[in-house]
Structure 1
Amino acid sequence: MDNAGWRPMLLPPGGGGGGGGAGGALDGGDWRAHLPPNSRERTVNKIMETLKRHIPVSGPEDLRKINRIAVKFEGNFYASATSRSYYLREISLKMLKMWIESQSTLPNAPSNSAGNSSENLAGKRARLPPSNQDERQNSVDYISELPDAIILHIFSFMTTKDAIKTSVLSKRWRSTWTSNQYMSFSLPPDSSRKCKSFITFVDSVLSRCTAIKAKRFLFDAPCYALIRSSLDRWLQFAIEHGIEEVSVSLHYWHHKVYVLPRILFCCTTLVSLRVSQCCFSVFGTVNWCSLKTLRIDYAKLNDDGMMRVLSGSPFLEFLELKSCEGVKHIMVESKSFRELAIDSHKFCGQVSMLKISAPHLLKLRLLGNSRGGEFRLDEVSSLIEAELNFNMEIFALDKVKAHADLVKGLLNRLHHVTILVMGSWCLQALSLMEARNMFLPSLKCRHLILLGAAGHKGVPEAIAKILESTRLLEKLSLQTTCTPDSAIELNTDSVGRRVFAGEEFWNFVKWRIYQCLMHLRHVEIVDGGASLLAWEPVLSLLKFLLQNALLLDKIVIDSTNSKSSQAFEPSPLLEVARILLSHPKCSPSAKVILRYPFQGCPSV
Structure 2
Amino acid sequence: MPPGGGVGGGAGAVLDRGDWRAQLPPEARERIVNKILEYLLRHHPVSNREGLQELNKIALRFEGTFYAAATSQSDYIWKISLKIWTMETKSQSTRPYALPSNPAGNSCEDSAGKGKILNTPPSMASINNGLCHQKRARLPPSNQNENQNPVDYISQLPNDIIAHIFSFLTTKDAVKTSVLSKQWRSTWTSNQYMSFSLPPGSSWNPKSFIAFVDSVLLRCTAIQVKRFLFDAPYLAFMQSSLDTWLQFAIMHDVEEVSITPHYWHYNIYALPQILFLCTTLVSLCVSQCCFSVFSAVNWCSLKILRIEYAELNDEGMVRVFSGSPVLEFLELKSCQGVKHIMVESKSFRELVIDSHEFRPGQGLMLKIWAPRLLKLRLLGNSQGGDFSLDEVSSLIEAELNFNMEICALDKVKARADLVKGLLKRLHHVMKLVMGSWCLQALSLMGARDMFLPSLECRHLILLSTAGHKRVPEAIAKILESTRLLEKLFIQMTCTPNSAIGLKAERAGCRVFAGEEFWNLVKWRIYQCLMHLRHVEIVDGGASLLAWEPVLSLLKFLLQNALWLDKIVINSTNSKSSQAFEPSPQLEVGRILLSHPKCSPSAKVILRYPFQGCPSV
Q: What's the TM-score once normalised by structure 2's chain length?
A: 0.81
Residue of structure 1 equivalent to 2:507: none
- What is the aligned partner in structure 2 of residue 375 from structure 1? 387
Query: 1:484·1:529 contact (CA, 8 Å) conserved in 2?
Result: no
Matches within 5 A, 1:434-473: 434-473=446-485
CA shift, 1:482, in A, is 3.2
Q: Which runs of 5+ in 2 are unaligned?
A: 1-12, 94-123, 504-509
1:324-343 superposed matches below 5 A: 324-343=335-354
Deviation of 1:513 after TM superposition, in Å, equals 1.2
Q: In structure 1, what residue type is equivalent to 2:207?
A: K
* 1:295-322 residue CA offsets vs partner (Å, 9 max, x unmatched): 0000000000000001100000000000
Matched, 1:220 2:205: no
2:254 is matched with 243
Match of 1:353 in 2: 365
Structure 1 435/45 Cα, relative in aligned 2: closer, same or farther at 3 Å? farther
| Post-superposition CA distance 1:332-380 (Å, at most 9, x none) | 0000000000000000013100000000000000000000100000000
Instruction: Name the residue aligned to 1:176.
Output: 187
Write the mapping of 1:544-559 to structure 2, written as runs, cut at 5 A: 544-559=556-571
Distance in 1 between residues matched to 2:290 and 2:298, nearest whole Å: 18
Give the Cα–Cα distance (whole angstroms) in 2 for the partners of residues 235 and 577 of structure 1. 58
1:164 to 172, 175, 179: 175
Counterparts in 2 of 1:27 and 1:380: CA distance versus 1, 3 Å? farther
Tell me the secondary structure at the aligned position of residue 594 of structure 1: strand
Matches within 5 A, 1:289-308: 289-308=300-319
User: For the residues of structure 1 that align with 2:154 and 2:203, how far apart are their CA atoms?
Assistant: 39
Give SS of 1:510's match.
coil
C-alpha distance in structure 2 between counterparts of 1:474 and 1:534, whole Å: 26
Q: Cα–Cα, structure 1 residues 186 and 574, in superposed 2: closer, same or farther, change >3 Å? A: same
For the Cα contact (< 8 Å) 1:546–1:585, is it kept in 2? Answer: yes
Aligned 8 A contact 1:100 1:143 in 2: yes
Q: 1:173 to 1:270 in 2, by over 3 A?
A: same
2:555 is aligned to 543
Which of 81, 84, 88 is equivalent to 1:103? 88
Query: Is the counterpart of residue 310 in structure 1 residue 321 in structure 2?
Result: yes
Displacement of 1:72: 7.2
Report the equivalent of 1:12: none
Alpha-carbon separation, structure 1, partners of 2:401 and 2:89: 55
After alignment, is 450-459 or 91-100 more displaced?
91-100
Does the 8 Å contact 1:307/1:331 carry over to 2? yes
Q: CA deviation at 1:574?
A: 3.2
Native 8 Å contact 1:107 1:136 kept in 2: no
- 2:153 equivalent among 135, 142, 154: 142
Give me the whole-angstrom Cα distance separating, in 2, the residues matched to 1:121 and 1:277.
Answer: 53
Question: Is the Cα–Cα contact under 8 Å of residues 530 and 563 in structure 2 kept in the other structure?
Answer: yes
After superposition, residues 126-141 of structure 1 pair within 5 angstroms as 129-132=140-143, 134=145, 136-141=147-152
- Partners of 2:453 and 2:62 in 1: how far apart? 54
Say which of 236, 250, 269 aligns to 1:258: 269
Give the secondary-structure state (helix, strand or coil) at the position aligned to 2:384: coil
- The alpha carbon displacement at 1:408 in A equals 0.4
Tell me by how many angstroms 1:481 deviates.
Answer: 1.1
2:519 is aligned to 507
Structure 1 match to 2:599: 587
Residue 210 of structure 1, aligned match among 221, 234, 244: 221
Map 1:563-578 → 2, pairs under 5 A: 563-564=574-575, 571-578=583-590
1-structure distance, mates of 2:253, 2:219:
17
Higher share of residues assigned helix: 1
Pairwise CA distance, 1:132: 4.2
Q: Distance in 2 between matches of 1:177 and 1:231?
A: 21
| Number of equivalenced pairs | 559
Q: Does 1:270 find its partner at 2:281?
A: yes
Distance 1:456 1:241 in 2: 56
% identity of equivalent residues: 71
Pairwise CA distance, 1:529: 1.3
TM-score, L = length of structure 1: 0.82
Give me the CA root mean square deviation.
3.9
**In the alignment, which residue of structure 2 is the partner of 1:20?**
none
Decide whether aligned partners of structure 1 residues 26 and 76 sit closer, same or farther in structure 2, where only a CA change above 3 A counts: closer
CA pair 42-404 structure 1, distance change in 2 beyond 3 A? same
Question: 1:472 deviation in Å?
Answer: 0.5
Say if 1:520 and 1:551, in contact at 8 Å, map to a contact too.
yes
Using the alignment, how far apart are the partners of 1:442 and 1:191 within structure 2?
54
1:216 Cα offset (Å): 0.5
Instruction: Show CA shifts across 1:545-602 (max 9, x none).
Output: 222211111222223x544479999944333333333332222222222333444446
One-letter amino acid matched to 1:419: K
Task: Check the 8 A contact 2:333/2:356 in 1, yes or no.
Answer: yes
Tell me the distance in 1 between the aligned counterparts of 2:226 and 2:401.
34
Deviations 1:75-108 (A, max 9, x none): 959xx98xxxx55x45444544454455345999
How much has 1:445 moved relative to structure 2? 0.4
Q: Which residue of 2 aligns with 1:487?
A: 499
Q: Which of 425-434 and 60-69 deviates more?
A: 60-69
Name structure 1 gaps, 5 residues minimum.
1-22, 492-497
Greater C-alpha Rg: 2
The 8 Å contact of residues 546 and 586 in structure 1, kept in 2 or not, is answered as yes
Aligned partner letter, 1:574: L
2:201 is the counterpart of 1:201:
no
1:529 aligns with 2:541: yes
Maintained 8 Å contact 2:494/2:541? yes
The 2-side partners of 1:502 and 1:319 are apart by: 42
Q: Secondary structure at 1:545's aligned position in 2?
A: helix
User: For residue 295 of structure 2, what is the aligned residue in structure 1?
Assistant: 284
CA contact (8 A) 1:50 1:95 kept: no
Letter in 2 for 1:270: L
Q: Residue type matched to 1:288 in 2?
A: W
**Partner Cα separation in structure 2 for residue 116 and residue 250 of structure 1:** 43
- The answer for the alignment partner of 2:443 in structure 1 is 431
2:493 is paired with a residue whose SS is coil
